[in-house]
């Protein structure tokens, strides 16, 4: 039997329509509701991590002032803050939140391919979050081993949370990976199998490409974290020695022998560095769409951007050991990983150049989403440049355990993706809720957040160069650390507390606008991609009306000469007033219509695009030959 795409079997699709409030908002199988559930849960646990970071900064900025923060508390705050932010907030929000909401809408599908499994993925994720939170309430509290959970420290006596805390952390991570796998299989299958007619891979918005590639990275990288979590649980509970070497504890030999702590580091960072791009690639895709929409200009070098996403994804698996230069690796390995680290900077730099060239001579609208997108470019460039220093073995060795790494990591992995999260929420808020937010509050939120985060993390680079070590509860009187370092730490703490409070502006703006904001138009930004072309705002279950949309063009037809408006939606058929160009507007010439003859743009000939546009044009003009097979 011949294969028939899911989009071509739309009449056979069976949607699980809710029959009660519970099945509509709790046990929902609608991808949009599940996305909102992911988003609310991720932001909720993220606020917990934000509070923990504030407590850490109080200790560092004003040591010996707050008696309720002891050394064990401090290390537990560090561990939980780092793990929550990286895994339970950013990963869950970009893939579970934006991935769930955007993929079916941008691909022209009615829902995810496996809606029931999609629902299960959220509830397993929620279970993972609750298990993690439970560690705050068990004897000994959560683990204080640091967010990288290195053995033997993680499960050795003397480390906070070595009994219940570390076990709950590892079980929670395992549950999170199960949830991600169920969701990830859904995202990949939906992108490959459920795109509507005309939505070729090279017509997908870059947001979908970024989420798609990040999901593949997760499906390949998370198993390394899963097996390392299982093995450490066995080391802790059953006395096995996967990671635990022979050692003395309180003057007595432990039951472990022959384990390799370095093995855990390799497994962790084989997951850990792709994890950077599991967060970064969706951010890259989303910021590309924000820049294009709000600059009223097609994205520069679309195909180059797609290949850069794929190249970054592939190279992310051969750079992990640059996190382990101080572990005593062979210098030849250090040279190899330093080289691959520099190589992966090339496709990343290509994306930065293309973002800047997209803005060049564009009709830039400084909306709130655009401000956050431009802010991302600045912070990502600054964070990326410091990464080039740390990728060099000779430079990394003295800086590895200093605040230079903290500043770099937070600029790249903290501030940059969070700015994209805010920009994306502001951008799609009208589609999700049907209402607009307060623009003035949004701009205040942006400027205070951007300037505040710079005042936190730029000084950390200077502290690192001074040699101030990270992960210290208190520094006391240390000869090589000048007194000015403590003054700078105090200033950083004040900035961090201000930035934390500023996020209340965002929460107030969103919550108030959901109920009291002015009604939003179905396409307030004049965007071309399919999610803005739905018949209802917010979209109803099933997204589209009786028929799925048909795509005739790429997602970046902005300011096209001869068009009535400065944007042409993807589902608008071509006619004589404007051309149909997929991903090479800068290279393509005007499409010529001569005596009923369709002539391809030069760019399409260069890239060997499909011929669907030709057949669509002929069909719309009544010139399609009878019996001719459609090229879609």
Structure tokens, 251: 């003057």
pLDDT of residue 615: 47
Q: What is the pLDDT of residues 413-448, one digit of tens each?
A: 999 999 999 999 999 999 999 999 999 999 999 999
By the 10 Å C-beta count (0-12 exposed, 13-18 middle, 19+ buried), 462 is classed as middle
Helix (H) or strand (E) holding 24: helix 21-25
Tokens 């330093």 belong to residue: 338
Share of the chain above pLDDT 70, in %: 89
What φ, ψ does residue 332 adopt, rounded to 5°? -65, -35
Among 582, 576, 577, 534, CA closest to 555: 582
**DSSP readout, 496-513?**
HHHHHHHHHHHHHHHHHH
Q: Shortest CA distance to 95 belongs to which of 5, 23, 185?
A: 185
E strand map for 471-562:
none
The continuous run of DSSP H or E covering 620 comes out as helix 612-620
Query: Which whole-number Å values give the CA distances from 163 to 74, 152, 237, in the listed order?
Result: 18, 14, 9
Cα–chain-centroid distance for residue 123? 20
Which segments of the chain have a pLDDT < 50? 1-4, 12, 583-632
CA distance 212 to 189: 10
> Which residues, in sequence order, are CB contacts of 9 under 8 Å at separation 6+?
none
Residue 612 confidence (pLDDT): 42
CB atoms under 10 Å from CB of 201, counted, come to: 12
- 240: its two tokens: 């096995």
Nearest to 209 by CA among 87, 106, 352, 355: 106
Identify the pLDDT of residue 476.
78
**What does 384-425 look like in DSSP terms, one character per residue?**
HHHHHHHTSHHHHHHHTTBHHHHHHHIIIIIIHHHHHHHHHH
Confidence (pLDDT) at 18: 75
Q: Enter the tokens of residue 22.
A: 């519970």
User: Cα 367–204–607 angle (5° rounding)?
Assistant: 115
Radius of gyration of the chain (CA): 26
Q: What is the 3-state secondary structure (H, E, C) of 136-184?
A: HHCCCCCCCCCCCCCCCHHHCCCCCCCCHHHHHHHHHHHHHHHHHHHHH
How far is it, in rounded angstroms, from Cα 185 to Cα 26?
22
Q: Are 610 and 622 in contact (CB under 8 A)?
A: no
Q: What is the pLDDT of residues 347-405, one digit of tens each?
A: 999 999 999 999 999 999 999 999 999 999 999 999 999 999 999 999 999 999 999 99
As a whole number of angstroms, the distance between CA 483 and CA 152 comes to 34
Q: Cα–Cα distance between 193 and 6 in angstroms, integer?
A: 6
Q: Which residues contact 539 (CB under 8 A, 6 or more apart)?
A: 32, 105, 431, 531
Q: In the block, which residue shows the tokens 């497994």? A: 267
Look up residue 97 and give its DSSP letter.
I
What pLDDT does 21 receive?
A: 81
| CB neighbour list of residue 281: distance below 8 Å, 6 or more residues apart | 210, 211, 213, 214, 217, 309, 312, 313
Distant-in-sequence contacts of 321-328, Cβ < 8 A, 24+ apart: 321/266, 321/269, 322/273, 322/390, 322/391, 322/396, 323/265, 323/269, 323/272, 323/273, 324/262, 324/265, 324/266, 324/269, 325/393, 325/396, 325/397, 325/400, 326/396, 326/397, 326/400, 326/401, 327/262, 327/265
Joined together, the tokens standing for residue 113 give 């391919």
* Three-class DSSP category at 68: coil
In this predicted structure, what is the pLDDT of residue 628? 35
303: three-class secondary structure by DSSP: helix
């Amino acid at each position: 039997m011949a294969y028939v795409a899911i989009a071509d079997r739309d009449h056979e699709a069976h949607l699980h329509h809710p029959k009660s409030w519970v099945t509509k908002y709790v046990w929902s199988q609608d991808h949009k509701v599940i996305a909102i559930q992911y988003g609310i849960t991720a932001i909720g646990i993220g606020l917990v991590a934000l509070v923990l970071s504030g407590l850490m900064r109080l200790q560092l900025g004003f040591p010996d002032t707050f008696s309720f923060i002891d050394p064990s508390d401090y290390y537990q705050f560090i561990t939980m803050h780092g793990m929550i932010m990286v895994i339970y907030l950013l990963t869950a929000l970009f893939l579970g939140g934006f991935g769930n909401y955007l993929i079916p809408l941008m691909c022209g599908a009615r829902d995810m391919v496996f809606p029931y499994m999609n629902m299960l993925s959220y509830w397993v994720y929620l279970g993972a979050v609750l298990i993690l939170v439970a560690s705050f309430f068990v004897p000994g509290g959560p683990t204080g081993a640091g967010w990288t959970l290195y053995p033997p420290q993680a499960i050795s006596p003397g480390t906070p949370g070595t009994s219940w805390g570390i076990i709950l952390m590892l079980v929670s991570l395992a549950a999170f990976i199960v949830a991600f796998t169920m969701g990830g299989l859904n995202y990949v299958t939906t992108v490959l199998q459920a795109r509507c007619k005309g939505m070729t891979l090279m017509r997908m918005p870059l947001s979908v490409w970024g989420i798609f590639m990040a999901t593949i990275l997760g499906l390949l990288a998370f198993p390394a974290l899963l097996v390392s979590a299982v093995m450490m649980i066995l080391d802790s509970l059953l006395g096995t020695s996967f990671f635990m070497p022979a050692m003395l504890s309180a003057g007595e030999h432990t039951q472990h022998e022959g384990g390799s702590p370095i093995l855990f580091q390799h497994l962790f960072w084989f997951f850990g560095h792709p994890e950077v791009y599991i967060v970064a690639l969706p951010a890259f895709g989303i910021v590309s769409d924000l820049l294009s929409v709000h600059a009223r200009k097609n994205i520069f070098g679309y195909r180059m951007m797609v290949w850069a996403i794929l190249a970054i994804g592939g190279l992310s698996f051969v750079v992990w050991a640059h996190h382990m230069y101080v572990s005593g690796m062979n210098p030849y390995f250090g040279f190899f990983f330093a080289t691959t680290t520099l190589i992966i900077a090339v496709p990343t730099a290509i994306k930065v150049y293309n973002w800047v060239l997209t803005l060049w001579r564009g009709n830039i609208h400084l909306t709130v989403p655009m401000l956050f997108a431009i802010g991302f470019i600045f912070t990502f460039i600054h964070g990326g440049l410091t990464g080039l220093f740390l990728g060099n073995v000779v430079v990394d060795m003295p800086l590895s355990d200093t605040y230079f790494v903290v500043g770099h990591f937070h600029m790249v992995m903290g501030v940059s993706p969070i700015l994209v999260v805010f920009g994306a929420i502001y951008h799609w808020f009208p589609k999700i809720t049907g209402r607009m937010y307060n623009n003035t509050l949004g701009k205040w939120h942006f400027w205070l957040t951007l300037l505040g985060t710079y005042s936190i993390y730029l000084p950390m680079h200077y502290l690192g160069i001074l040699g101030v070590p990270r992960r210290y509860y208190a520094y006391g009187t240390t000869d090589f650390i000048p007194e000015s370092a403590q003054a700078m730490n105090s200033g950083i703490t004040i900035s961090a507390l201000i930035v934390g409070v500023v996020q209340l502006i965002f929460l107030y703006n969103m919550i108030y606008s959901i109920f009291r904001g002015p009604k939003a138009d179905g396409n307030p930004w004049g965007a071309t991609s399919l999610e803005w072309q739905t018949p209802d705002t917010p979209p109803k279950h099933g997204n589209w009306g009786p028929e799925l949309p048909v795509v005739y063009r790429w997602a970046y037809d902005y300011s096209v000469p001869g068009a009535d408006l400065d944007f042409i939606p993807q589902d608008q058929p071509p006619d004589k007033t404007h051309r149909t160009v997929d991903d090479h507007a800068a290279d393509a010439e005007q499409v010529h219509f001569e005596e009923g003859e369709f002539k391809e743009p030069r760019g399409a000939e260069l890239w060997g695009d499909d011929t669907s546009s030709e057949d669509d044009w002929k069909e719309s003009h009544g010139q399609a030959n009878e019996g001719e097979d459609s090229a879609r």
